[in-house]
Amino acid sequence: MKFEMETMREIWNSEDKSHIEIGADRDGLGCVEIRYCDNDDKIIERMSFPPDQAKLIAKAIELCASEMIGSHITSPSAKDRLSHPGVLA
């Protein structure tokens, strides 16, 4: 018998119990997977990204959210903007 441990991060909506799960993809492809689940724990949407792309997406989301709430965090370096045009611009 073979056992594996899975680590999952979850963000819960306390009002309707829907949630977002973030962790390794369940297909074993080595990707980061984001799943949106309804209040019955049914997966409604799934998106998978290679780890390097997931890090860029997380950084872009953090920058966008910070700008929207009026906070300012360190802007991406010129190297990041040139390496990934359109993602961090």
Alpha carbon distance 38, 27 (integer Å): 21
Q: Is residue 86 over pLDDT 60? A: no
Residue where the block lists tokens 């019955």: 40
Q: Higher confidence at residue 10 or residue 26? A: 10
Residue range 46-66, pLDDT digits in tens = 999 999 999 999 999 999 999
CA 3 to chain centre: 26
Where do the structural domains in the chain lie, given as residue ranges? 8-49, 51-89
The Cα 53–Cα 57 span in angstroms is 6
What letter would DSSP give residue 84? S
